[in-house]
Amino acid sequence: MHPIRKQRLFVVLFIVVGSSLAAFFIISALKQNLNLFYEPSRVANGEAPIDRQIRVGGMVAEGSLIRQTNSLAVNFIITDFAANVAVEYTGILPDMFAENAGTVVTGFLSESGTFFAEQVLAKHDENYMPPEVSAALDSAKQSATQLNN
C-alpha cells in the first residue's frame, strides 16, 4: 500500500477504535454514577430504588434534629410538607445546615425507609436554594392545596 494511504488508514482506525472504546467506558461509568433526585413524597410512595445511590431533598423539619451524645451521628427528618423521610448521617454537617432550611442528601435508602446519607449539602448563602428542593416544595404545596379544596 502507498505509505500515505497506509498512514491515513492507521489514523482512521486508531481514532475509530479509540473513540468507540472511550465511548463505551464513558457511558458505562456515567450510568453507574448518575444520581437521580427524589422528593420526599416520591420516596414515601415507594418510587425510589433501594439498591442505588440517590439524592433526596427538602426542608429539615423543625425539632427533628437529634444528635447522639457519644458520636457524630445525627438523625433528622427531611420534609416537603406532604411526606417525611428520616435520615441518618455520621459526620460533620455543613456550616449552613439548620432546621427549617433546605438541604440535599446523597446516599442510600434502606428497606426500613430510613435514608443513610453519605453526603449532606446545605444552602451556602441566604438566597440559595437547591433547584430540586424548591421544585419539590412547590409541587407538594400544590397537591396539599388541591386536597384542602
Distance between CA atoms of residues 85 and 78, nearest Å: 5
Say whether residue 65 binds other proteins (CB under 8 A).
no
Do the strands 102-109 and 73-79 form a parallel or antiparallel pair, or are they unpaired?
Answer: unpaired
Distance between CA atoms of residues 19 and 54, nearest Å: 30
**For 149, what's the count of Cα atoms within 13 Å in the CB-facing half-sphere?**
6
- Provide, rounded to whole angstroms, the least separation between the CB of residue 111 and other proteins: 23
Q: Looking at residues 81 to 110 of the shown chain, list those that interact with other proteins (rule: CB under 8 A).
A: 90-93, 95-96, 100, 102, 106
Binding piece for other proteins, criterion CB under 8 A, among 32-40, 44-52, 107-115: 32-40
- Provide, rounded to whole angstroms, the least separation between the CB of residue 12 and other proteins: 11
- Provide, rounded to whole angstroms, the least separation between the CB of residue 37 and other proteins: 4
Helix (H) or strand (E) holding 75: strand 73-79
Nearest one of 56, 33, 30, 41 to 109, comparing CA atoms: 56
- Provide, rounded to whole angstroms, the least separation between the CB of residue 18 and other proteins: 5
List the grid coordinates of 40. 420526599
Which residues form the interface with other proteins (CB under 8 A)? 3-4, 6-8, 10-11, 14-15, 18-19, 22, 25-26, 29-30, 32-37, 53, 55, 67, 70-72, 90-93, 95-96, 100, 102, 106, 123-135, 137-138, 141-142, 145
